[in-house]
Amino acid sequence: MSASAVFVLDLKGKVLICRNYKGDVDMSEIDHFFTLLMQQEEDGLISPVMSHGNVHFLWIKHNNLYLVATTNKNSNASLVYAFLYKLVEVFTEYFKELEEESIQDNFVVVYELLDELMDFGFPQTTDSKILQEYITQQGQKLEVAKTKVPTTVTNAVSWRSEGIRYKKNEVFIDVIESINVLVNANGSVMSSDIVGCIRLKTMLSGMPELRLGLNDRVLFALTGRDKGKTVVMEDVKFHQCVRLSRFESDRTISFIPPDGESELMSYRINTHVKPLIWIESVIEKFSHSRVEIMVKAKGQFKKQSVANNVEIRVPVPSDADSPKFKTSTGHAKYVPEKNLVVWSIKSFPGGKEFLMRAHFGLPSVENDELEGKPPITVKFEIPYFPVSGIQVRYMKIIEKSGYQALPWVRYITQSGDYQLRTNS
């Protein structure tokens, strides 16, 4: 990765705090960053990477701060950005909100964190739970921590401390899948996929080893048991605790888990997905004086399931006013600053069909603005329903003391980038 230095700047380009890791880039080079940024904003073309001579600035903006890394090498930009976003995550864990005031109030802790997060331009300990063991927000504890090396640093299992004890040993497993769907104006699905992750909340004593079994098609093919519904996972990414060699050899997900909450793995399933909530819309404009919108929503998932907190966002002309709504369920509201009607349905059972009618006045005479308008978007969440058919077949928990532990599994399907274009 090789970042030379990291800076935190305010909105005026003033350096609040910085850390020079390699010393091969003059620290005064940061003075050119804000000038370059202002020039690009004037031109309307803002780049995530800017250069002055042979020095490159890689930056992100978070709230009222700029986080900037400098380098004079051909560094891996994606890794530098991953580190900058990790900085935001760690600082937020420590200070609840990352903004100018939280940096100014916690200079000592920020310097300590910058020293531990990176060494000579390369990321080191970036897990906030581990950092919180020996970098605290109390100044007196910082001095003690320098003489006491935390067990997680010397332990072979760096993401978990020894000596953890619980009265009741449990593991909560959340399988969360987001559907991305793009439907064209003719009702055909142009693109679709499923992005999923498995999150754990681990409340286990000692140093347990866990083995997770899924209905993975590759595993079933390896064992000659290719029966029943299986899934093909792509782009699989694991937490560092998973033994990758074991997964590659026999598809076993074996690991010693971090304590508390963590994301065990993420995956993508490239498959044709039927839109779970189907939308039909008719938009009629009457001689530029009023517009009427009719939207029909149908739940195309099994009747036993219920979609919660459904939001259907329908674009309307920017000059619309005097809204009137009629809905068969839920409620609709006009959001003029976004030129949207938002139809909210708290509970949407599978197989049901609902209607919403909206009436607007159009005070100004304009061209037909509805041409090329944004698509209808939908948000929802369906509990107890894995859209891909993925299943947790087993969770084995092995610990030398031999205690019994209960695994709890929950499935959630939710909307990701869910868009339906209209030709009305």
The pLDDT score that the predictor gives to residue 147 is 43
**By three-state DSSP, how is residue 394 classified?**
strand
Give the pLDDT confidence of 78-89 residue by residue, as tens digits.
889 999 999 999
Q: State how far the Cα of 417 lies from the Cα of 376, in Å rounded to an integer.
A: 11
The pLDDT score that the predictor gives to residue 123 is 83
Residue 229 identity (one-letter amino acid): K
Cβ neighbours, 10 Å, residue 348 = 24
Residue 329 identity (one-letter amino acid): T
Q: What is the pTM of this model?
A: 0.69
Q: State how far the Cα of 369 lies from the Cα of 283, in Å rounded to an integer.
A: 12
Q: Between β-strands 65-71 and 5-10, what pairing exists: parallel, antiparallel or unpaired?
A: antiparallel
The pLDDT score that the predictor gives to residue 125 is 79
Render 278-346 in DSSP notation, one character per residue. Answer: EEEEEEEEETTTEEEEEEEEEE-S-TT-EEEEEEEEEE--TT-EEEEEEESSSEEEEEGGGTEEEEEEE
Q: What are 359's two structure tokens?
A: 């009436």
Element at 36 (helix H, strand E) = helix 31-43
Q: What is each CA distance from 85 to 81, 103, 305, 320, in whole angstroms?
A: 6, 16, 37, 40
Q: Which domains does the chain have, with CATH numbers?
A: 5-154 (3.30.450.60), 170-273+387-420 (2.60.40.1170), 277-383 (2.60.40.1170)
The pLDDT score that the predictor gives to residue 149 is 52
Q: What are 218's two structure tokens?
A: 């590759």
The pLDDT score that the predictor gives to residue 311 is 97
DSSP3 helix / strand / coil % (the chain, rounded to 5): 20, 45, 35
Q: Which residues pair with 169 in a beta bridge?
A: none
The residue ranges of DSSP E strands in 92-161, in sequence order, are 118-119, 122-123
The residue ranges of DSSP E strands in 63-127, in sequence order, are 65-71, 118-119, 122-123
Cβ neighbours, 10 Å, residue 341 = 23
Query: pLDDT (tens digit, 0 to 9) for every residue of the chain, 424 residues total?
Result: 578 999 999 999 999 999 999 888 999 999 999 999 999 988 888 899 999 999 999 999 999 999 999 999 888 888 899 999 999 999 998 888 899 998 988 888 899 899 888 888 788 877 777 787 777 764 333 343 444 455 545 456 778 888 899 999 999 999 999 999 999 988 899 999 999 999 999 999 999 999 999 988 776 666 656 556 788 889 999 998 999 988 888 888 999 999 999 999 999 998 888 899 999 998 887 776 888 999 999 999 999 999 999 999 999 888 888 899 999 999 999 999 999 999 999 999 999 999 999 999 887 655 555 445 789 999 999 999 999 999 999 999 999 999 999 899 999 999 999 999 886 5
In degrees, rounded to 5, the angle at the alpha carbon of residue 99 between the alpha carbons of residues 93 and 103 is 80
Residue 53 identity (one-letter amino acid): G
Q: What are 398's two structure tokens?
A: 């092995």
